[in-house]
Structure 1
């Protein structure tokens, strides 16, 4: 496959994305093909080494922010027919309510999870700072001859700081897991949008 045909095939699979983004991606792969040709490959070999148009288009779409993908998916390739407009208007109370409810549910879940993680770290911080304050206070108590009370403060201070250290490890792991889970969810949504684009392209063909 020649470079021009390859880039055009990729362009067709990126329909709906901003032209600036498409051009930037195509320029990148055109430059990559040139680099391989400078290394001694023929044009066909250089294009084959890059990958198929489907693979490249999917990679570009995966690197595209989700809002742009959704906007590109929602953008019709043709004008709406009259009956489609009527259905959209009549169904607006239903589909908008469902869409709003789904959005609010997702938002509430994000807020709850973020609040739990934040609370966890606040507790850890409180234990750590409390332990430090008690440790300092126990030193003054010992100097002042506090005796057993000062020793008790030392024990509590060590306990608080120890708990803070022990809790920090699972808190960090939980945070990383949540971040990874959100990343996977975003990737899953992207794949759904990309697959729906592919189905639409197949139908149009």
Structure 2
């Protein structure tokens, strides 16, 4: 990977954050500029200092992920200039359309998010049920055995052992699925936030 100079790094960062407010952009540029300068003061070359900071795209993604979506949306829809009368009238007349589309988009995203986590809750509910069945079956099997119903008791214990084995597999499956959904929802949130970031020209 080609090493970047401090100027190239800051230009790339400015371009990646073009959708943010000028105040936020300057704040982050100053922050990373000082970080690079500190490393240069410690004896690193400019390129090595920049390389140690990290990849520009990764930094941009992290900044977007940490920023509230309400702030991104507010900056995106904020007019860059004073609106003319006819523009205000057009916005007012078109509000039933764009407002409906906005609500629909929000509803789709919210329903997708809820559906994903409902699936995870269902999987964990199955795990708890199977684990509970294993304990209940083993306890019942022991009870049947002590009451003289040895064959029934052994069968119940066998069912309990099978359920216990299944519950182990279900536990690791639910754990992996939960981790996957966490990553997916994080990427979904980042994707939604990225819609408010317009890649600008430097």
TM-score (norm 2): 0.74
Of 131, 135, 143, which residue of structure 2 is paired with 1:132?
A: 135
Greater length-normalized contact order (CA 8 Å, ≥ 6 residues apart): 2
Can you give the 5+ residue segments of structure 1 that lack an aligned partner in the other structure? none
Can you give the 5+ residue segments of structure 2 that lack an aligned partner in the other structure? none
Q: Distance in 2 between matches of 1:72 and 1:58?
A: 22
Q: Distance in 2 between matches of 1:47 and 1:61?
A: 22
Q: Confirm whether residue 168 of structure 1 aligns to residue 168 of structure 2.
A: no
Q: What is the number of residues matched between the two proteins?
A: 189
Contact persistence 2:14–2:25 (CA under 8 A): no
The structure whose residues are more often helix, as a share, is: 1
Change (3 A) 1:142 1:90: same
User: Which residue of structure 2 lines up, in the alignment, with residue 17 of structure 1?
Assistant: 21
1:100 Cα deviation from its structure 2 partner: 0.7
Which aligned pairs between 1:47-196 and structure 2 lie closer than 5 A? 49-50=49-50, 59-60=59-60, 62-64=62-64, 65=67, 67=69, 68-194=71-197
TM-score (norm 1): 0.73
Contact persistence 2:19–2:196 (CA under 8 A): no
Contact persistence 2:6–2:33 (CA under 8 A): no
Q: Confirm whether residue 32 of structure 1 aligns to residue 35 of structure 2.
A: yes
